[in-house]
Chains A and B, each alone.
Chain A
Amino acid sequence: MVPYLFLGFAAMLLATALMVILHKHPVTSALFLVLSFSSLAGIYLLLQAEFVGMVQIIVYAGAIMVLFLFVIMYLNLPHDVEKGAQIAVRRGIGWMVGALMLLFAGLLAKKGWVAGPAATAPADLSGGNAAAIGRVLYSRFLFPFEITSILLLVAMVGAIVMAKGRPASPEGEGE
Chain B
Amino acid sequence: MAALMQNEAFQVALWAMVKVGIILGVMLGVVSYLIYAERKICGHIQARTGPNRVGPLGLLQPIADVGKLLFKEEFIPAGANKVVFHIAPILAVFPAIVTFSVIPMGPPPMFVVTDINVGLLLFLAMSSLGVYAITLGGWSSNNKYALLGGLRSSAQMISYELAMGLSTIPVLLRTGTLSLSGIVDAQAGQLKAFDTVLPLPNWGIFHWYLFLPFFIFLICSFAETNRAPFDLPEAEGELVAGFHTEYSSMKWALFFLGEYMNMIVICSIMVTLFLGGWHGPGVDKFAPLGLVWFLTKLFALLFFFIWVRWTYPRLRYDQLMGFGWKVLLPASVVNVMIAAVWLYWRANA
Contact = CB atoms under 8 A, between A and B. Distances in A.
A142 interface: no
A57 B122 CA distance: 9
A61 B125 contact: yes
Chain B contact residues: helix, strand, loop or mixed = helix
A62 B224 CA distance: 14
A133 B116 CA distance: 16
B21 interface: no
Nearest to B179: A128
A31 B83 CA distance: 11
Contact of B116 (A28, A50, A55): A50
Listed residue (B136, B178, B179) with the most chain A CB atoms within 10 angstroms of its CB: B178
Listed residue (A25, A41, A57) with the most chain B CB atoms within 10 angstroms of its CB: A57
B9 A1 contact: yes
B20 interface: no
B118 A58 contact: no
A34 interface: yes
A62 B128 CA distance: 5
Interface string B81-106: 10110010000000000000000000
Nearest to B138: A73
A127 B135 contact: no
B131 A130 contact: no
A131 interface: yes
Interface string B158-197: 1001000000000000001111000000000000000000
**Interface residues on chain B, size class:** 20 to 34
Nearest to B125: A57
A51 interface: yes
Interface in B143-163: 147, 151, 154, 158, 161
Nearest to B121: A54
A73 B153 CA distance: 14
B132 A130 contact: no
A73 B147 contact: yes
B124 interface: yes
A131 B176 contact: yes
B177 A73 contact: no
A39 B264 CA distance: 27
Nearest to A130: B178
Contacts of B46: none
Contacts of B158: 63, 66
A33 interface: no
A17 interface: no
Given A127-B176, A131-B176, A61 B84 contact: no
B154 A50 contact: no
A69 B178 CA distance: 30
A130 B118 contact: yes
A4 B179 CA distance: 26
Contacts of B129: 57, 61-62
B214 interface: no
B117 A130 contact: yes
B36 interface: no
A129 B125 contact: no
Nearest to A58: B125
Interface string A40-81: 010000000011011101100111001001100100000000
B139 interface: yes
A13 interface: no
B280 to A, nearest CB: 27
B84 A27 contact: yes
Contacts of B178: 128, 130
Nearest to B116: A50
A158 B87 CA distance: 35
Contact of A66 (B83, B132, B177): B132
17 contacts: A28-B84, A50-B116, A54-B122, A57-B125, A61-B125, A62-B124, A62-B128, A62-B131, A66-B154, A66-B158, A69-B139, A70-B135, A73-B139, A128-B178, A130-B117, A130-B178, A131-B176
Given A28-B83, A131-B176, 16 more contacts: A31-B84, A50-B117, A50-B121, A54-B125, A57-B125, A58-B125, A58-B128, A61-B128, A62-B125, A62-B129, A66-B132, A70-B154, A73-B135, A73-B139, A128-B118, A130-B178
In the A-B complex, the 8 residue pairs with the smallest Cβ-Cβ separation, listed nearest first, are A62-B128, A54-B121, A57-B125, A128-B117, A50-B118, A58-B125, A54-B118, A130-B178
Interface of A: 1, 25, 27-28, 31, 34, 41, 50-51, 53-55, 57-58, 61-63, 66, 69-70, 73, 127-131
